[in-house]
Chain A
Amino acid sequence: MKLLRRLRTLFNKDRLDQQLTDELQFHFDKQVEQNLAAGMSPEEARYDALRKFGGVEQVKEECRDAWGVRFMNTLLQDVRYAFRMLAKNPGFTVVAILTLAIGIGANTAIFNLIDAVMLRKLPVERPSELRLVAIVDPGSAGEPDPTFTNPLWEQVHDRQDVFSGVFAWGGDQFDLAQGGAVDYVNGLWVSGDFFKTLELRPSAGRLLTASDDQRGCVGAAVLSYGFWQEHYGGAPSAIGSTISLSTHPFEVVGIAPPGFYGTEVGNKFDVAIPICAAALFDGKTSRLDRRSNWWLTVAGRIKPGLSAGQLATGLRVLSPAVFSAALPQDWSADGQKGFLRQVLVAKPAATGISSLRETFDRPLELLMGVVGLVLLIACANIASLMLARAASRQKELAMRQALGAGRFRLIRQLLTECLLLSSAGALVGILFAHWGTALLVRCISKAQDPVFLDLSLDGRVLGFTLAIAVFTSILFGLLPALRATRVSLTWAMKGAQAIKSARAGRFHSRHWIVATQVALSLVLLVAAGLFLRSFAKLATLDLGFDRNNVLIVSTNLNTAKIPRDLQFSTCEAIEGRLRALPGVTSAGRSVMTPVSGSGWNGLIQSEWSTALTRRRSIAWFSFVSPGYFQTLHMTLLAGRNFNSGDTHTAPAVVIVNQTLARRFFPNLNPIGKTFRIMDIAEKPGAPIEVVGVIKDSKYRSTREEASPIAFFPATQIPGESEADTFELRTAIPPSALVSAVQAAVGEVNKQIPIEFHTLAEQVNDSMVQERMLALLSGFFGALALLLAMIGLYGTLSYLVGQRQTEFGIRMALGAEPVSILRLVMRSVVSVLAAGVIAGVGISLAATRVLQQLLFGLSAHDALTIIAAVTVLSVVALVAGYLPARQATRVDPMVALRNE
C-alpha cells in the first residue's frame, strides 16, 4: 500500500507539486488576509506572512522528502540528465557504446560457449542425481575410461544395487538413403531405461521402454523433436510410420521432448533406437555379444540417501562379478588378469558428457582471459575519453558545485552516465554475442563432424553480462568522476586552460592509462603471434603425403548386402571405373585414410630388435591397393610397390615407413627381412617380408611424432574387413567429380552407400583446436591493437590541445617546430617504453600457460615477441606522430589570444 502510494507519487510528481504549491499558497493568502484585517498595509501584510511562514522552497523540499521519493526522483533526474549529456555528444556516445559492445559482446560470447559446453545441466529432472559410470584399472595411472562393451553393460544393469535407475547409450550414424550418396542422421543406441531414468516425457506417441530393448527385438525408433519438425513438419502421422536406418526399417513410436538433444554435449541426436537392434545391423557376430567392442556409455541415477562413499563402495563390491562375467575369452593371460583387476567408479554427470571439454576446456579458459584483457583495454579507452570529457566539462561541474551540489551527488551523476553507457554497450554486446557465438561454434566444428550446442541465453549468461556491464562502468567511470569533481572552483571558473598548463609536463593518469593499454595489447599480440605461428607451422608441416586435390570416397559393401566373397572383386571393379573417370589422374583404395580419426594397430616383433618395450613395439597398419601411394604422392624410398603378383595366396608382403625400418631393423637394409604380428592372445603370426620402404607420413593426427607404419596389400586383408575407401587424385576441383563418382559406383551396384570427403578437409579437421586459437587470438590481438591505437591517438590529441598555449609561447619565443615535435614525441616514447617493458614482462610470465597449446614453438619464442613489439611500436608511433605534428602547427597568435 505504501509502496503503491510512493509509485503513484513518482508518476504524478508534477501534479503533486502543483497541489503542494496550491496548499501553501492558500495558507499564505489566509495569513495576508488576517494581517490586512489587523490593519497592516498590504506590503507589510505580505512581508509578515512570508516571515511567519519561513523558507517556502525549503518547506516544499521537506514535503517532497516526506513523500519518500527523493532518491528515486534524483535517480530519474540523473538518468534524464545523463541521456541529455550523451545525446549532446553523439560522436563520443557512439564510439563508447561500440567499444563497450565489442568488449562485452566478446566476453558474453565466450562465456556463453563455456556455459553451453561445460556448465549447463542436462534438461532433465534433478540432473544432479546423475552419475557416469567409468572403469578404472588400479594398476595403471590412466584416467577412468567411460566406455563399455554390451556384455559389461548387461552385467552392470543386472547386478547393480546403487542406482534407482541405470541406462546406457552409444552414438552412431545411420544412413537414411537406400544406397547412393549417404544421408546421415545422428543416431543414438539407447537401453530400455534410458528415457525412463532421465524422466523424460514424450512430445507425441511414446518413448522407448524396457520392453523395446529385448534380445531379438524388431526395432522401434524415437525421433528427436527437432528432427520431427524438420523432416515431418511436426505431423502426428509420423507416429507409426517407418523410417529406414542404413536400410533397416524401424517403426517410429514417439517423439522426444523439445530441448532434449541427448546426453552428449556438442552433439544432438536425431533418432534413438534400442541397443538390441544392433543384432539387425551386425548379423550373426553382433556387437551385443562381442566382449572387446567398446561402444556404450553407462550412467545412472543415484539411489536417494546414498552418499558418494557408499556409491563408490557399492560399485567396488560389484566389480569382480561384473568383470569376470564379461571377460574376453580370447585375450592373453596378462590381458585377462588386467581386465579382472578393474573396478567401476562413478563421476557426477549433471552436465552430461562431452568430448568437447577435453579438447576445448583450456583453449576456452584462455580465450576468456583474452577477451577479459580486450575488455580492460576497451575500458581504458573509455576512461581516457571520459577524462577528456570531464576536463571539458570542468566549468559546468565547477558551476554546479558552486551552486551547492555535493561532490557525492556529482560523482553519482557521472557514474549514472557511465552505467547508461555500459548498459547500452551490454545490449548491443548481447546482439554481437548472439552471432559471435554461432561463429565460434562454426570455428570449433569439424567439416565431418559439426558441433551442435544449445546456445540459448540462460540466466547465468545474462547475469554474467549484467555483472561485467556494472563492473566495467565502475572501472572506467570512477577514476574520471573522482578527478573531475576534485576541482578548484576559482581556477575552473577562470578557465580550464590555466589548470592544465600548471601540470602539463607531468606523466599523469592519462599517460598511465595509455601505458597500461600498450602493455595489455602487447600481451595479446604476443599470444596471437604465438598461436598464428604455431598454426602456420602445423598447416605447412610436411605430412608425408599431398593433401590437395584428393577426393575420398567411402563405401560400405556390408550395408549394400554384397556377399563376403564378392566384396574384393566389387572393390576392384569400382577402383577401375573411378580411375577411368575424366579428371581423375590416379586412384587407389585402402581400409582407412590418414588423419581420419580411426586407426588400426598391433604389436610386431622382429628378430633384429628384440629389446623393445611393449609400447615401442606398437605399429600402425593400413591395407592399400598399389595405386594408393601414387595417388597420395607418397615417396617410395627403396624396394618396390605392390603389384598384381601380391595375391591373396602369394607370400605375405609389407611396405614399411622409415621409422618402422629404423626401429625394427636398426642399421640394416630392411628389404627382404621379415617381421611377425602378434595376435590377440599375443602369439607371433607368420613372417611377413618387407618389400619396400616409404617416406614417413602422419597417421592419426598432424601433431604426432613419426610412428612406425606398415602398409599391407589390400589383397591380403584378414577377417571381415575390406579396403572399401577410395582415393582419387584429381586434375579438377574434387567436388566437381561427385556426381560422376556416384554414377560410376551406381553402375557397379546401386545399393552401395557413398560418402564424400576431401583429404584437405580431413587434415583441416585435425587442426581445429589450433585453427580456432590462431583465428580468435589473431582477431582479438588486432582488436586490442586498434583500441590501443585509438587510445593513444585520443589521449595525445587531447594533451596537445591542452598545451596549445604553452606551445604557442614556446614558438613565439623562437622554438623550432622540430623541438616541439621532439617534446611531444618524447612523451609518446616514454609511454610506449613503459608499456612495452611491462608488456614483455607480463608476456614472459603469462605465456608459459600457453606452452601446451603450441606446436613446434617455445612460449618464449623471441621472434614472436620481437615482431609483436615492432608492430606495436610502429603503430603507436604513427598514432602519436599525428597529434605531435598538429602541435607544431600551432599559430602563436591564436594560442596566445585564447588566454
Chain B
Amino acid sequence: MGKSIDLLQGTLDLLILKTLALEPMHGWGISQRIQQISHDSLQVQQGSLYPALHRLEQQEWIASEWGASENNRKAKYYRLTDSGRRQLEAETAKWERLSAAVAQILQTA
C-alpha cells in the first residue's frame, strides 16, 4: 500500500469510462476492476466513486439501469453511452499526448 498514487482530478472519470467500455458493470464491480487492473497501485476511496458516477450520468456519458447481480440481488448497472464513448476517445488521446509530453521532458531534462 505504501506505493499507492493519489488520483489526479479527472483521472477517476477516465478510469470509470475505460472500465465501462468493456462491459456494463455496477459500482462495486467498477471499484474492484480499477484495483485489479492497476495492481492495487491506485488507491480509490470507495465512496468517492459514487459522486463521480452520478456526475457522469448527469453528463449523459454513462447510463444506468437496475438489474440482477451475480447472486441475484438487485444492483444498479452502468453502461457507456455513445457520447461517453466519444468522450473516452477524446480523453484517452488527450491523456496520451500529456503523458508523452511529460515523459519527453523528464528524459531530456
Contacts and interface: CB of A to CB of B under 8 A. Distances in A.
B46 A2 contact: no
Nearest to B27: A27
Nearest to B76: A23
A5 B28 CA distance: 25
A713 B28 CA distance: 113
Nearest to B75: A26
Interface string A10-41: 00000000011011101101110000000000
B42 to A, nearest CB: 14
Given A26-B69, A26-B75, A54-B45, A66 B51 contact: yes
Contact of A27 (B28, B54, B58, B60): B28
B47 interface: yes
Contacts, number: 64
Given A26-B69, A26-B73, A63-B54, A54 B47 contact: yes
Contact of A22 (B47, B54, B57, B76): B76
A53 B27 contact: no
A62 B50 CA distance: 8
Interface string B1-44: 00000000000000000000000001110010000000000000
Interface in A37-63: 52-56, 58-59, 62-63
A19 B76 contact: yes
Contacts of A20: 50
B28 to A, nearest CB: 4
Interface in A766-809: none
Contact of B26 (A26, A56, A58, A63): A26
Contacts of B73: 26, 29
A67 B54 contact: yes
B50 A23 contact: yes
A1 B57 CA distance: 13
A249 interface: no
A458 interface: no
Given A26-B69, A52-B46, A54-B46, A66 B27 contact: no
Contacts of A29: 73
B48 interface: yes
B86 interface: no
A2 B28 contact: no
Contacts of A26: 26-28, 69, 73-76
Contacts of B69: 26
A65 interface: yes
A68 interface: yes
B50 A59 contact: yes
Nearest to B57: A66
Given A2-B60, A26-B69, A66 B46 contact: no
B19 to A, nearest CB: 15
Contacts of A65: 51
Contact of A66 (B45, B54, B60, B75): B54
A53 B50 CA distance: 10
Interface string B50-66: 11001101101000001
Contacts of B28: 26-27, 30-31
Interface residues of A, number: 26
Interface centre among A2, A66, A68 (most CB of B within 10 A): A66
Where chain B touches its partner, the secondary structure class is helix
A2 B27 contact: no
Contacts of A53: 45-47
A66 B76 contact: no
A184 B57 CA distance: 74
Contact of A55 (B47, B75, B76): B47
A2 B57 CA distance: 10
B78 to A, nearest CB: 10
Nearest to A30: B28
Given A52-B46, A67-B58, A62 B27 contact: no
A805 B80 CA distance: 70
B65 to A, nearest CB: 11
Interface string A512-551: 0000000000000000000000000000000000000000
Given A22-B76, A26-B28, A26-B76, A59 B58 contact: no
B76 to A, nearest CB: 5
B9 to A, nearest CB: 14
Contact of B58 (A19, A31, A55, A66): A66
A31 B46 contact: yes
Contacts of A55: 47
A63 B51 CA distance: 4
Given A53-B46, A54-B45, A68 B76 contact: no
A24 B50 contact: yes
Contacts of B66: 19
A68 B55 CA distance: 9
Interface in B84-101: none
Contacts of A59: 47-48, 50-51
B38 to A, nearest CB: 16
Given A22-B76, A26-B76, A31-B28, A5 B51 contact: no
A340 to B, nearest CB: 80
A504 B47 CA distance: 52
Contacts of B57: 66
A33 to B, nearest CB: 9
Given A26-B26, A54-B45, A55-B47, A2 B58 contact: yes
A522 B18 CA distance: 76
Interface in A63-80: 63, 65-68
A26 B27 CA distance: 9
The 8 closest A-B pairs by CB, nearest first: A54-B47, A62-B51, A66-B54, A59-B47, A66-B55, A30-B28, A63-B54, A27-B28
Given A19-B76, A31-B46, 5 more contacts: A22-B76, A26-B69, A27-B27, A54-B47, A63-B54
Interface of A: 1-2, 5, 19-20, 22-24, 26-27, 29-31, 52-56, 58-59, 62-63, 65-68
22 contacts: A5-B58, A23-B26, A23-B27, A26-B28, A26-B69, A26-B76, A27-B26, A27-B28, A27-B31, A27-B46, A27-B50, A29-B73, A52-B46, A54-B46, A54-B47, A54-B48, A55-B47, A59-B47, A63-B50, A63-B51, A65-B51, A66-B51
